[in-house]
Amino acid sequence: MFEPAAEDTWIMCVFVVLVVIIGFGVYRRINYVKQTSSIYANLLRLNSRYHFHGEILREYRIDEAVPAKSRFDNFNFDTALDRHISANLDYYLDLLKKIYANQQGYRQYTREVDNVIRQDSVKLHEVKKDFLYSKIEAHICKKCKLHPRLTTCLLYSVSYSSPKGKNQYHKEHLYSLQDVQMHYEQVLQTQKHLTDEKRRRQAERAKMSPSLRYSVLRRDHFRCQICGATQSDGVKLHVDHIVPIAKGGKTELDNLRTLCDRCNLGKGSQSE
């Protein structure tokens, strides 16, 4: 009654031995190809000359929880992404630089890989390449090739949970690499505009010299151009921009006038 079990064991042993023999044969064959393939050797040398950024993720996530349902309903993903990029400009600059460095390097790398294969195809090989050799060579060369990450995406997720946790709301938006770059450039443009505008305002304010101020007061006979008050009426005289600097006004005689402190305060930043 124990004969079937003994026979099964014997068959299993033969099978294991055959698997080991075949596996060892394949292992030796692969090693032989690795040691004799000029394509494989040249690819290894080529790979050693290239260094790609490997820390780039396939997908980045931004998770934001809002405190009110109205905020969730009116949530604008583009505005939120611009805000996030603006607060992390250096991070996004570094990420985009690494991705585009990978892309540029990989274009050059693939050209050199093709050149390695093309040059090898016209050589007279000392090693005879049979069908199995060529198959193994193609397989190990394919595995040998570098495959850096050339793109990424960003998933922006927003959620809201009611005070007692009874209702849960969630929505998300996926941005491609091109979308992220477009938003990054828009944020840069906005910040540049704000910086240029700040410099313009500072430059216009710096033009208000004591001599220019006196010229305006003398031209207006030291009298408020709205109510007619003078210093003898107990007011303080100011030189006012008719079109405020904040609205594009310039510090020039045609855009300046004398106002008393009360009229100047009442006018505020309004233009006339």
Residue 108: inside a domain, yes or no? yes
Work out how many domains the chain is built from and give that number.
2
Are 61 and 189 part of one and the same domain?
yes
Residue 46: inside a domain, yes or no? no
Nearest in space to 135 (alpha carbons), one of 67, 213, 37:
37
Are 93 and 156 part of one and the same domain?
yes
Domain residues for 227? Answer: 208-267
Are 219 and 114 part of one and the same domain?
no
From residue 227, how far is each of 100, 123, 235, 239, 263 by CA, in Å?
64, 98, 11, 14, 7
Q: Tens of pLDDT along 127-161?
A: 567 778 888 888 888 999 999 999 999 999 999 99
Are 256 and 216 part of one and the same domain?
yes
The average pLDDT across 33-45 equals 88
Q: Tens of pLDDT along 159-192?
A: 999 988 789 999 999 999 999 999 999 999 999 9
Are 250 and 214 part of one and the same domain?
yes
From residue 21, how far is each of 31, 139, 159, 254 by CA, in Å?
15, 21, 59, 99
Beta bridge partners of 192: none
The average pLDDT across 49-66 equals 96
Question: What single letter denotes the amino acid at residue 244?
Answer: P
Are 113 and 149 part of one and the same domain?
yes
How many whole angstroms from its chain centre is CA 112? 29
Contacts of 120 (CB under 8 A, 6+ apart): 38, 39, 42
Residue 175: inside a domain, yes or no? yes
Are 75 and 192 part of one and the same domain?
yes
